[in-house]
Structure 1
Amino acid sequence: MKKLISALFLVFMLPFASAWAQDYSDGNGYTTIKTPVRTTNLDKIEVVEIFWYGCPHCYALEPYTQAWKKELPADVEFKFLPAVFGRNWLAHAKAFHVADLLGIEDKIHSDMFNAIHQDRKRLNSEDDLAEFFTQYGVSEDEFRKQYDSFAVNSRLSQADSKIRGYGARGVPGIVVNGKYLVTAATAGGNNNIYSVVDFLIEKERQAK
C-alpha cells in the first residue's frame, strides 16, 4: 500500500515539477541579449561558453559542461570562447586558439583547468605554455609560431567582438543562439545552468 501511495504521489507531482522546470523568463534563469549576435551555422542552435582558464568558477562549471556535452543533441553546436577581461587573461586565450587551430582543443581543455587549479601551475607565459603543449605532441617551435600568428590574433579580435555583442561582463557565461545569456547568478547556481540552457534550446526549436 505504501508503494502504491508513493507511486501515486510521484505521478501527481510530475506535472508540477515539469511546470517548475519550465518556469524561466527574461531575468529569471537567463537574460535576453538586446541585439542578437549572428551565429556561425544557421542550421544549428549554437551554445557558446565564455570562460577563462584562470577562473575558479569556470573550473567549477567544467564537470557540468563536459557531462552535458556528452548528450549533445544533433541540432545543437557547442563552442568554447575564451574571454580577455584582463591583461593576464590574454596568454590563456591565445593558448586555447592555438590548441583549436592544431586540432587538440578537446584533449587539452580540461587538462589546462586541472593544471592551473589542481596542480597549481602558473601557465601565464608563452614559455610556460610552450612547455605544457609538448605533452600533446606540439613542439615548442610550432607552438610559438602559432602563438603570435595572424590566425590567432584574428580569432582574438573576433571573440572580443562577439563577447561585447553578448553584453557579457564576466565568466563563466553560456550564450544560447546568440540571443540569451545564462550565468550561475541568473540560473541559481552551476548545477542549474544547463537546465536553463536546455529550456532555451527547446524555446529556439519551437521558434523555428
Structure 2
Amino acid sequence: MKRHQMLMAGLVLVLTAMSQAFAAGGDFKEGTDYEVLKTPITADTDKPFLIEYLWLGCPHCQALNPYMLQYEKDHPNVEIVRKPGIGPKRWVLDAHIFFALYETGNGKLFAPLMDFYHNLETKERRLPDQNDINGFLKSHNIDQKRFNEAMTSFETMNNLQRTLKEEQSINLTAVPTVVVAGKYKLLAPAEGEGDAIKRYFELIDYLLKKG
C-alpha cells in the first residue's frame, strides 16, 4: 500500500511539473516557434520591449494590429517599438510616411493611419496616393509642408538606413515579424484568432520572461 501511495505521489509530482512547464511555455521550441538572433537588436528604452516590423499596407499587419494595441494596453510595462518593413519601391515610400509621422510628433496616429490604409484597400482596392495622404494629414491637423519635409529629412534617411541594416541582419523575409527583447525572432505565424492568436501572445510572454 505504501508503495502504491509513493508511486501515486510521484506521478502527481511529474504531472504537476509537466503542467507548470506547459503553462510557462514548455511546449515552445527554438527553431520552430522562435529563432535566437546571433546579433541582438537594441532599442532606446529601459522597459522590456518588442520590435514589430510591419508594412502599413500589409493586410496581415492590419489584422494583427488590434491585438498588438490591446497587448500594449494590457502590458504598460512592455514597450512596443514599431518599424517599417523596407522592401519594394512602394514599401520604401510608406516607410518614409511612417517615419515622418513619428518625426512630426504624431506617432499616436499610427493606428488611425494603418486603418486609413486598410479602409482604402477594402473600399477601393488600392493604396493611398499623395492626395489621399494629404487628406489624412488635413483631417488630423498635421502641417502638410512640415510633414513632406520630414519625409526626406536627414533623420528619416538615417532611420531608413538603420532599419534596413537591422532587417538584413535578422534576415527579414515577411511582415509582420516580431522580435522579443531584441533577441528572439518569432517564427510562429502572426495570424488567426482564438487559440491561435492566444498562443502567439503566450509565446511573446514566455520569451519576455526568458529574457
TM-score bin (small chain): 0.7 to 0.9
Residues 159-180 of structure 1: CA distance to partner in whole angstroms, max 9, x if unpaired?
1112222222110011012211
1:44-193 matched pairs, under 5 angstroms: 44-74=47-77, 76-106=78-108, 108-120=109-121, 122-185=126-189, 189-193=196-200
Corresponding residue of 1:5: none
- When residues 103 and 15 of structure 1 are mapped into structure 2, their CA distance, relative to the original with a 3 A threshold, is farther
Structure 1 stretch displaced more, 80-89 or 184-193: 184-193
Tell me how large the CA RMSD over aligned residues is. 2.5
Maintained 8 Å contact 1:48/1:176: yes
Maintained 8 Å contact 1:98/1:143: yes
How far is 1:53 from its partner? 0.9
Aligned equivalents of 1:110, 1:30: Cα separation in 2: 26
Residues 11-39 of structure 1: CA distance to partner in whole angstroms, max 9, x if unpaired?
xx987654324122312321111222233
Aligned equivalents of 2:208, 2:166: Cα separation in 1: 20
- What secondary structure sits across from 1:137 in the alignment? coil
Residues 72-121 of structure 1: CA distance to partner in whole angstroms, max 9, x if unpaired?
252x3221011111111112111111111122112x22222222222336
Aligned equivalents of 1:49, 1:16: Cα separation in 2: 32
| 1:198 and 2:205 are equivalent in the alignment | yes
Maintained 8 Å contact 2:100/2:156: yes
TM-score (norm 2): 0.78
TM-score (norm 1): 0.79
Identity of aligned residues (%): 26
- What secondary structure sits across from 1:70 in the alignment? helix
Structure 1: gaps (5+ residues): 1-12
Larger Cα-atom Rg: 2
**Aligned AA for 1:172?**
P
- When residues 25 and 186 of structure 1 are mapped into structure 2, their CA distance, relative to the original with a 3 A threshold, is farther
Which runs of structure 1 show a deviation greater than 6 angstroms over 4 or more consecutive aligned residues? none
**Aligned AA for 2:90?**
N
How far is 1:124 from its partner? 4.2
**Aligned AA for 2:57?**
G
- When residues 28 and 111 of structure 1 are mapped into structure 2, their CA distance, relative to the original with a 3 A threshold, is same
- What secondary structure sits across from 1:53 in the alignment? coil
Structure 2: gaps (5+ residues): 1-14
How far is 1:182 from its partner? 1.1
